[in-house]
Structure 1
Amino acid sequence: MSFISKLEAAVQANRSLLCVGLDPRAEQLTDGANDEEKLVNWAQGIIAQTDDQACCYKPNFAFFEQYGPDGLRALQRIIQAVPGNIPVLLDVKRGDIGSTAQAYAKAAFEQWGADAVTISPYLGRDSVEPFLKYDGKMVFILCNTSNPSAADLQLYGLPPLYEHVAQIAQSWGSADQIGFVVGATQPQALARVRTLCPQNWILAPGVGAQGGSLQEALQAGLRADGSGLIVPVSRGVMQAADPNAAAREYNAQIAGEVETFRQTKCGPQSLKKELVGGLFESGCVRFGNFTLASGKKSPIYIDLRRVVSFPALFSLTARFYAEIVEKLDFDRIAGVPYAALPTAAVVAQQLGRPFIYPRKEVKTHGTGQAIEGAFEAGQRAVILEDVITSGGSIVTSLEVLKQAGLSVTDVVVLVDREQGGAAKMAELGLKLHAVLTISEIMTTLKESGLIDAATYQSVRDYLDE
């Protein structure tokens, strides 16, 4: 099983986001004839008392390496002692040139048997790639750590270095391969990384002895689905008189915060309300007298080209697209130029799927191709567009894709203006999937007090006509 498969199964089975840290202290090692036996006996005791509460175990390599060969032999035995349905995240913080990184990766995954590791990104992609070549394994990249002096480097520059790390590292691998380490002591950074990386798992150390707030960390770092955050606790569990009781207490607190998050931020209707409000506040939804591309007059105008200038809104928009797209059957994500291209590219990156786009005008130089990107005839494409009115732009893109030998059965849009687009898609044998309809937008804006009754009625009358 891959790290992600194990992790998600353990999260569900144990109803836990708690990662139990294994950082042995000399005063705890009392049972055994030598250091190896003492370490193994101690760790096996912790594991036996917490394996019904943990979603993950995180042994810290340094705490075993300090005991020399005895410690390393113990680490190998301890990792083997972890139940097979719970992943092991080896905290090694490796980071070196390619050939050395390759050796580190071989040690972590082949010798120690870890499912994931922590990595320093300071040497760039070269230091990470060898770890990603192991199928099903995962790396957690140090991003904004919980130690006090981290700010000297990680907050340097505009945007700060940690944000650059979060953004560039997503191009190194998929969300099933790349996670991030962001300290629970830095809730603002957690929230920022979550905005930049809506799908990636985050390891948030610092709760407990380091003073991080569990509540603030969860509210800032949880994914839109109420998951995606691993909370590692070491001393708070392993030094407790009753590790199982301590782990249960942490899990109860986590469960309470997750439920609060789900009720206030995670429900589909709550997220849709947030999306509609964001579209209105950013000027993507406007009211007045407008002429549409079709030549029709309209009292409402939806300009989703502006979304890209509002990072949080852009992230939320991409998330809604991704939730629909990931359930469909396709080989390529095809964005309709121009408004849908940024979002389609982000969705493709998040889902780890190839992206292409048909050109509005064929180049008269170079290859002169009508579709940008790599594809083959016979493959299936899902079309992403921003808004559908009558569906004209989609039809144009569809013709280009079909001429190239691609088949299309699904179209995904953010907003359906409910003016014949869905019927047109059906005529062409396509199924339309819309995140929002214009009716939903109007109802939400009215209920939220963002528009008055007269504005609402004018648009309703327009739609009825």
Structure 2
Amino acid sequence: MDAKLEFIKFMVRSGVLTFGDFTAKSGRKTPYFVNTGKYRTGAQLAQLGEHYARCIVDNHLEGATLLFGPAYKGIPLSVACASALYLNHGVDMGYAFNRKEAKDHGEGGVIVGMQPQDGDHVIIIEDVITAGTSVRETVPLLKAAADVKIDALVISVDRMERGQGDLSAVQEVEQEFGIPTYALVTTREIIELLHNHPVDGKVVIDDAMRARMEDYLARYGVK
């Protein structure tokens, strides 16, 4: 099965990707919703980690030395991905994440796990970028810790919709920091691959839902 279709079906089965009537944080009425907080089991995390790991290997990013998961949702993602890289691909990469509040006792600091070192090549692992806030907080944090190079940002879904201006959050991050971004799937791919394609016998994107999603992208999507 195509890796992208496999991942899309995995999200649907996990209850992470749902279709209906939702209101996004932006206030926009959206016909679909992605909630990575729905990943709740060891089996789901193992599969999720492998999808991220495969994306890293397929895009020849395995030369990086550190996976960084911004708190909070990036934490399990970085752990699952690091584990899958080692178990399934023989790549032993360090991982780290940040605390929301600095600790002034014990080991202290805001970064937990492998501490960034000068010369490290970092991959930031995220779920879905809506406004790019966590990335804008993470890049200065990493740069302050050491002289690192951020090789890539890997996310699960690129919603492909505009922020405040004409660019998507992903495009804004790429433009602002010069960081290449790799999405496991995009909204466009979800529409194309899942249209009239049953998941466990049920079609979740029929002609009507496709029309709604196309209309949403026409109104809010990047050009």
**Equivalent-residue separation in structure 1 for 2:190 and 2:34 (angstroms):** 11
Give me the whole-angstrom Cα distance separating, in 2, the residues matched to 1:277 and 1:377.
Answer: 38
Q: Is the 8 A contact 1:318 1:346 kept in 2?
A: yes
So what's the TM-score if we normalise by structure 2?
Answer: 0.77
State the alpha-carbon separation in 2 of the partners of residues 411 and 310 from structure 1.
Answer: 24
Q: Which residue of 2 aligns with 1:412?
A: 154
Residue number in structure 1 paired with 2:135: 394
Q: Deviations over 1:195-227 (max 9, x none)?
A: xxxxxxxxxxxxxxxxxxxxxxxxxxxxxxxxx
Q: Which residue of 2 aligns with 1:323?
A: 54
- State the partner residue of 1:372: 112
- Are 1:422 and 2:162 an aligned pair? no
- What does 1:136-175 correspond to in 2, within 5 Å? none
- 8 Å CA contact retained: 2:66, 2:95: yes
- For the residues of structure 2 that align with 1:292 and 1:318, how far apart are their CA atoms? 26
Identity of aligned residues (%): 29
Q: Is the 8 A contact 2:126 2:154 kept in 1?
A: yes
CA change 1:372–1:446 in 2 (3 A) is same
Contact preservation (8 Å) 2:64, 2:93:
no
Give the whole-Å Cα distance in 1 for the aligned partners of 2:135 and 2:144: 14
Q: Which residue of 1 aligns with 2:20?
A: 288
| In 2, Cα distance between equivalents of 1:401 and 1:284 | 29
Equivalent-residue separation in structure 1 for 2:104 and 2:22 (angstroms)? 35
Superposed, which structure 2 residues align to 1:249-288 within 5 Å?
A: 265=1, 269=2, 271-288=3-20
CA distance in 2, matches of 1:353, 1:381: 10
For 1:432 and 1:403, locate their aligned partners in 2 and report how far apart those are by CA, in whole Å: 22
Aligned residues: 196
Structural mapping, 1:61-100, within 5 Å: none
Displacement of 1:295 in angstroms is: 4.9
Indicate if the aligned counterparts of 1:362 and 1:368 stay in contact, CA closer than 8 A.
Answer: yes
Question: 1:446 maps to what in 2?
Answer: 195
Q: Which residue pairs with 2:88 in the alignment?
A: none
For 1:203, the equivalent position in structure 2 comes to: none
Summarize the Cα distance change of 1:460–1:387 in structure 2 as closer, same or farther, 3 Å threshold.
same
1:334 to partner: Cα distance? 0.4
Q: Does 1:299 align with 2:37?
A: no
SS in 1 for 2:122: strand
Structure 1 vs Structure 2 CA RMSD:
2.2
What SS is found at the alignment partner of 2:39? Answer: helix
Name whichever structure is richer in helix by fraction.
1
Q: Is the 8 A contact 1:308 1:342 kept in 2?
A: no
Q: Residue 440 of structure 1: CA displacement?
A: 1.1
Tell me the alpha carbon deviations over residues 132-162 of structure 1, each in whole angstroms, 9 at most, x when there is no partner.
xxxxxxxxxxxxxxxxxxxxxxxxxxxxxxx
- 2:164 is matched with none
Task: State the structure with bigger RCO (CA 8 A, min sep 6), 1 or 2.
Answer: 2
Distance in 1 of aligned mates of 2:106 and 2:208 = 54
2:125 corresponds to? 384
* Match among 164, 179, 182 for residue 433 of structure 1: 182
Aligned-residue offset at 1:415: 0.9
Q: Does 1:455 align with 2:209?
A: yes
- Partner of 1:338, secondary structure, is coil
Following TM superposition, by how much is the alpha carbon of 1:408 offset from its aligned partner in structure 2, in angstroms? Answer: 1.2
Q: Which moved more, 1:335-344 or 1:284-293?
A: 284-293
CA distance in 2 between counterparts of 1:285 and 1:299 reads 11
How far apart are the structure 2 equivalents of 1:370 and 1:347?
21
Is this contact kept in 1: 2:19–2:204, CA < 8 A? no
Are 1:389 and 1:418, in contact at CA under 8 Å, matched by a contact in 2?
no
Deviations 1:300-324 (A, max 9, x none): 210112224271x433322221123
Pairing partner for 1:332 from 63, 66, 76: 66
Contact 2:116 2:142 in 1 (8 A): no
How much does 1:294 deviate?
A: 4.6
Q: After TM superposition, give the deviation of residue 422 of structure 1 in Å.
A: 2.6
| SS across alignment from 2:160 | coil
Richer in strand (by share): 2
Task: State TM-score, norm by structure 1.
Answer: 0.39
- Give the unaligned 5+ runs of structure 2: 86-91, 162-167, 198-202
**How many Å separate the matches in 2 of 1:417 and 1:308?**
23
Q: For 1:294 and 1:302, how far apart are their aligned partners in 2? A: 14
Aligned counterparts of 2:106 and 2:46: Cα–Cα separation in 1: 34
Structure 1 runs not aligned, ≥5 long = 1-264
